[in-house]
């Protein structure tokens, strides 16, 4: 919650969680909690919203490894909840809400977002409190892989690709070329994504 609730662009529920629960937890821990969730130097900026009304904006780099581990566990639990069976396999998490400076990471983020939108078009949203959390699940592909899109506070997307242990790992020429540093262009609908 500390990493997600206060992100600019969230809905009003995220904003209220930041100003309530998160701020109280940070004050109670004497900012040690921020040291756990932010790995690069944090800066606190005070922004005046109106006369005598301020909000504090915390700027820093989240502990991505820690977040990915958390969302891996959430994906395992979500699988159990959704399918009523434990998941055996690997989970690959992509944090779609992070901002990238450019190059391959930014292009990859756009590609994942658009590809997932296409895959999930018309699929139901699940979640009892949609202002805080919803999720969707893709159909299983020919390799046995599928994906959960987790959405927090109305717009923070996290993608969890589920690779069951019974699935064969697909061979993907485009990914192989990208990983070797070769210029690669992938077309998705009318859009082109250029890597390297």
- From 4-8, 55-59, 104-108, the region with the lowest mean pLDDT: 55-59
What's residue 71's pLDDT?
Answer: 96
Confidence of residue 44 (pLDDT cuts 50, 70, 90): low
Q: Do the beta carbons of residue 149 and residue 156 sit within 8 Å?
A: no
- For residues 33 and 96, membership in a common domain is answered with no
Class of residue 189 by CB neighbours under 10 A (exposed 0-12, middle 13-18, buried 19+): exposed
Rounded to 5 degrees, φ, ψ at 108 are -60, -40
Residues 37, 123, single domain; the answer is no
Burial of 142 (0-12, 13-18, 19+ CB in 10 A): exposed
Tell me whether residue 188 is in a domain. yes
pTM over cut 0.85: no
Task: Write out the residue range of the structural domain in which residue 36 sits.
Answer: 12-59
What is the token pair recorded at 174? 């485009």
Give domain status of residue 76, yes or no.
yes
**Do 97 and 184 share a structural domain?**
yes
Does residue 5 sit within a domain?
A: no
What SS3 class is residue 33?
helix
Are residues 123 and 72 part of one domain? yes
1, part of any domain: no
Phi, psi of 101 (to 5 degrees): -75, -20
From first CA to last CA, the distance across the chain in angstroms is: 35
Whether 107 and 161 share a structural domain = yes
């Amino acid at each position: 919650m500390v990493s997600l609730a206060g992100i600019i662009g969230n809905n009003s529920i995220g904003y209220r969680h930041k100003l309530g629960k998160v701020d109280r937890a940070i004050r109670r821990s004497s900012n040690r909690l921020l040291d756990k969730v932010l790995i690069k130097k944090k800066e606190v900026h005070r922004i005046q919203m109106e006369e005598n009304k301020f909000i504090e904006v915390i700027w820093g780099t989240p502990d991505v490894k820690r977040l990915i581990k958390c969302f891996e566990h959430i994906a395992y639990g979500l699988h159990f909840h959704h399918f009523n069976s434990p998941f055996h396999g690997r989970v690959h998490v992509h944090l779609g809400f992070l901002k990238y400076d450019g190059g391959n990471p930014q292009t990859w983020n756009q590609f994942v977002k658009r590809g997932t939108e296409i895959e999930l078009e018309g699929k139901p949203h699940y979640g009892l409190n949609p202002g805080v959390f919803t999720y969707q699940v893709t159909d299983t592909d020919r390799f046995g892989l599928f994906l959960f899109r987790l959405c927090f506070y109305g717009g923070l997307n996290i993608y969890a690709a589920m690779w069951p242990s019974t699935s064969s790992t697909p061979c993907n020429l485009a990914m192989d070329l990208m990983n070797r540093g070769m210029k690669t262009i992938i077309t998705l609908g009318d859009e082109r994504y250029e890597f390297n």
